Structures are given as C-alpha cells and as structure tokens.
Structure 1
C-alpha cells in the first residue's frame, strides 16, 4: 500500500474552530525508517481570533497543552493581531520574525511556484539566525509541545518547519505533502485575512492561487536549500546550531524505527 502522509492525524481538534491550518507534524517518515513524534510540534495560521475557551484548548492541560508559542510574524502583526485571551493564558510566547530583508511580496505578480520558491529562498538568506532560534526552542523539553505560526501558516511557517523537518531526516515526499495540506484551509484563511489590519482590503485583490501551497513550490524550495546551502543540516550548522543541539532537535522530533 502506498504511504499517504495526508492520512496522519491533523487539523484543529474540537474546540479550536478559529485556529485555521493547525496541524501536528507527527507521523512523517524519516530517511532512517523512523517517524516524527506526535504532540511535539504544531503549526498553524493566525492566533488573532481565539477566544478564552479556544485559548484554553490550545494551552490547557486538557487540550493540546502548548507550552511555547513561536510567532514568526512581523512586529505590526504581532502587536495588532494576537488574541488577548491567549496572551493571558499562555505560558511562553517568543517573537522570532522570519523575513526576506527588504523584499516584499508582490501581490500583482503571477503566483508561479518558482517565483514563490525564490521568495522562500530570501527567507533563508535573511533569517538564518532566527530559524536556528526556533530549532533551539524546540530542542528544549521545557518548550514542548511548541506551536510555530505566522498569519496563514504557509510561507514563513512553511519555510521554518520545512528546514527543521528536513534537518532531522524527514523524507522529502512527506515534507512536501505536509506543506501542501494548507490547500485544505485556504477558504477559512482568506476570510480571516480580510479582517486583519496588516492585510485588510489588500487581500481582496489577491488571486485565489496566491494563497496556494502547491507541491511544486516546496520541491523547488528544497532544491534551492540543497544547491545553495548543502541541505537543511548544513544550513542550520552554518548559521550557528552546533552538533549537540542538532542531536537534541532530532531526539525531540523523531521516534526511531
């Protein structure tokens, strides 16, 4: 039977209807025959719309029990678009902005997979130390389960999670499939983005495909990661992660065969 990583448990559990694009990255295969652990790393879109009950599901002991939320958004987004109820209840929140220096998204451009992957490569160029920071946070048991998120949970989150997963040996097929799962959440994400100050009316002019997460985009990004940086492990080590930290990250994320 063909392995289907999309069949792995994912998506918001009951009680989190406003946390779109949420999933546990557990259950993905690794090159050495292992699997990523469930309940260690979650990824999602914006946390702006969580009320008190939903915040409790996310961070409470009877819910997901998230101990650390890593916010990959820019300063304006963080200030204007974070749930007050979540701020009151969460244990730890870290702002680790992933950015592409001064290169902005061009919403008038055709959203071709190679163009998007090229923008993702700019995240690698400008935010290596920040991606290493996320790796270190995740390697620390005190921060797990950890939630990494941006606004849509696709671009900044997609790049960060892809680097971490590939660095611990997740097979490319499963990593690409996980990235592509955002397509299931596009309708809800688009509606939410229209209500966020940092996006507002701009999102109405963005073509539907601009929120897409095609497999071709992630394949192109992984090729760039390999060709320019020698792969995810070399990328993290080259930006300051040491060998013991990489081993700790692997232990945190991977259940051996």
Structure 2
C-alpha cells in the first residue's frame, strides 16, 4: 500500500477500496477531519466482522452512485440509524459500467469498445449537470448527515469523481485530490494481476490493454474532470456556486464543519 493510504485504510474483509478520506491538507493550513467522509466499493458481501467494524465508524449516511440494475442485483445492507440513499451517477455515458463481478470481461466486444479514451470522456461528463452529485453536495452541508460513506461498484470512477468534488469543496488542492484518487490502484492491481494470466488465454493484446484501462485509476481520467470543470466555469469557486449553489459562505460553513 502507498504511504498516502497508511492511516486511511479500513480493514474490512469483503469490501474493496474502503478508506477514510481524512487527513488531506487544505490551502489555509487545516486538514480534513477523519471519520467524516469514507469511500468504498460495493457493500453487498460484508461479513459479520465487517458489519461490526462498520458500526464503530460513526457513519450516518450511505450514498450509492450505482444504477438500478447494479443495486437490485447487489443491494446495500441496512443498518439501524443509517440513512441509505441512491442516485445513479453515470447518466447516459454510452456504455454499461463495469461491475465488481467483472463478468463483462468475458465479453470481447465490450473490451474492444471501452478503453482509456472512453473513460476520459466519462470523467469529463460526470461532474457537470449530474443530479447525483448535486444531491451529494446537499447532503454533506448538513452535519447531521455526517459521517458519510459514498460508493459505487469498486469505488474507482463514480466514487472517484464524487470524492474529488468533496475534497475540492473543502479546499484540498488538485495534487492531493489526485493522490486520493490514485490510491484505488493499490486495491485494483492485485485483482488485475490475478486475472491477466487467465484472460491472456482468450484476449488479444489490444483487449488486454483495454482491460487494464478499465481496472486502473489513471491520472488522465481525473484530470479530465478538472479540465471539464475549468473549461466551463474557469475556477472551482464559480463551479461550486453555479453547479451546486455552494456559495462562498456555504463553503466556509462546510469547511468549518469538516476541517480541523
């Protein structure tokens, strides 16, 4: 695991990519509080031990970015005094998002069409005019909703953008937002490396490259999110105010609640 992850990883047995988003510095010298924001992959395989650990984390809201089909097949667990909310984040991106089962990897046509360029376009598409992230920004402004766990299937793409928006709203710079995003590779690489020998018997080199694109968090993906925001709005202050109604005053209140 990378150094950035040492104090953030939560040792759940059957939830991938589960980590605390605390500890990142902001421009004014404060840091994101631990125990306020968590991110992860799917929760449907949680063990008894996972449930018990989860109950100790102070999570009051589970926010799910997955679509209807994903959630029906692999529903989130229900915890007492925890509010579950789900608003699909992907929108009309032109392809079916990979799920944690990775059954799509058996579909060569899928691997032929979903590549790094497609993911770059996805990341540019996600942060703008997206009801899921609009709702996320509303939720995090009420301290009664925090701690919050937000997740998708593996916690890479939809959660990656959601995590970036939360940290940017708190005043974390792009470099540290990118660091948080890339930690996902610590979780995905073992899965990817284990599957490649099996897949290499059935897929050509180009399809294996596309598989790598799907299973990786790449700087160019999240950079596309940064670029799309700045291309439309010019800066993050304007973006948060125009896209989410997060005025300077509201952001200061949010930061007061979530930074130390």
Give the TM-score range, shorter chain: 0.7 to 0.9
State whether structure 2 residue 25 is matched by structure 1 residue 22: no
How far apart are the structure 1 equivalents of 2:88 and 2:192?
22
TM-score of the two chains, using structure 2 as the length reference = 0.79
Residue aligning to 1:122: 125
How far apart are the structure 1 equivalents of 2:129 and 2:191?
26
How far apart are the structure 2 equivalents of 1:7 and 1:102?
30
How far apart are the structure 2 equivalents of 1:189 and 1:252?
37
| Alignment gaps of 5+ in structure 1 | 192-203
**Deviation, structure 1 residue 237:** 1.8
CA distance change for structure 1 residues 89 and 79 in 2, over 3 Å: closer, same or farther?
farther
User: Alpha carbon RMSD of aligned pairs, Å?
Assistant: 2.7
**Deviation, structure 1 residue 149:** 0.3
How far apart are the structure 2 equivalents of 1:115 and 1:130?
20
State whether structure 2 residue 41 is matched by structure 1 residue 41: no
State whether structure 2 residue 252 is matched by structure 1 residue 250: no
Q: How many residues align?
A: 232
CA distance change for structure 1 residues 74 and 233 in 2, over 3 Å: closer, same or farther?
farther
**Deviation, structure 1 residue 88:** 4.7
Equivalent residue runs for 1:37-186 within 5 Å: 37-58=33-54, 60=55, 63-83=56-76, 86-89=77-80, 91-104=82-95, 107-109=111-113, 111-112=115-116, 115-127=118-130, 129-186=131-188
Helix, strand or coil for the counterpart of 1:36?
Answer: coil
State the 4+ residue runs in structure 1 displaced beyond 3 angstroms: 187-191
The C-alpha deviation readout for 1:18-54, integer Å capped at 9, x for no partner, is 1110111111111222211111000001111013431
Q: Give the conservation status (yes or no) of the 8 Å contact 1:19–1:50.
A: yes
Residue aligning to 2:211: 207
TM-score of the two chains, using structure 1 as the length reference = 0.79
The C-alpha deviation readout for 1:71-119, integer Å capped at 9, x for no partner, is 1111111122124xx215462111122123252256424633x542321
Helix, strand or coil for the counterpart of 1:142?
Answer: helix
